[in-house]
Amino acid sequence: MTAMQHSWPETLRDCGLRVTRQRLAVLDAVAEHPHQPAEAIHAEVARRLPEITVQSVYTVLHDLTAHQLLRRFDPPGSAACYETRTHDNHHHAICTQCGRIEDVDCVHGEAPCLEAPAGLGMEVEVADVVFRGICRNCAAQNAGEHKAAQPV
């Protein structure tokens, strides 16, 4: 469901949250551009609401994540990213060249899909799997550059 098709006001009310322009703008921005860090979300929201501060966006992201309307994803070595795909068990693939992040459906079903060692001493709720590699676009670009660099 795209941002334009989603009934964010109804969803917010169902979670017991007030419907505000800030919340709606953040939800739309994340739905339209998933896997973006807070600063990129702020830049998108500021196009619609120029008066919104970065701190306000962080506050809204925190509130929406706490109410499971957004999912926070922490890619290794990068800022936290956000998405609206919250109620399934999925993972992510990250291109190590361009940084693009794609969703990967979990083949094992419900979270957590991996088992922690018995002696860990905690109840695991989520096991994140991150696939890292080079996306098709970057691989094609690399192949083109490699061909161009070879002497004739």
pLDDT tens, position by position, for the chain (152 residues)? Answer: 444 457 999 999 999 999 999 999 999 999 999 999 999 999 999 999 999 999 999 999 999 999 999 999 998 888 999 999 998 888 899 999 998 999 998 877 665 667 777 788 888 777 778 889 999 999 998 887 766 666 65
Residue 67: CATH number of its domain: 1.10.10.10
Is there a single domain that holds both residue 27 and residue 61? yes
Percent of residues, the chain, with pLDDT higher than 90: 62
86 with 71: CB under 8 angstroms?
yes
Q: How far apart are alpha carbons 145 and 50 in whole angstroms?
A: 41
Q: How far apart are alpha carbons 130 and 92 in whole angstroms?
A: 5
Is there a single domain that holds both residue 146 and residue 93? yes
The pLDDT tens digits of the residues spanning 107-120 come to: 776 656 677 777 88
Enclosing H/E stretch for 114 = none
Q: What rounded mean pLDDT belongs to the chain? A: 87
Is there a single domain that holds both residue 71 and residue 113? no
- Domain span at residue 34? 1-87
pLDDT for residue 10: 95
How many domains does the chain fold into?
Answer: 2
Is there a single domain that holds both residue 48 and residue 119? no
Residue type, 117: P
Domain boundary among 87, 120, 136: 87
Is there a single domain that holds both residue 48 and residue 121? no
Is there a single domain that holds both residue 76 and residue 132? no
Hey, how many other C-beta atoms are within 10 angstroms of the C-beta on 31? 19
Domain boundary among 37, 58, 87: 87
Is there a single domain that holds both residue 83 and residue 120? no
Is there a single domain that holds both residue 83 and residue 50? yes
Q: How far apart are alpha carbons 138 and 132 in whole angstroms?
A: 13
Q: Among 100, 99, 101, which Cα is nearest to 91's? A: 101
Lookup: tokens for 81:
């990213």
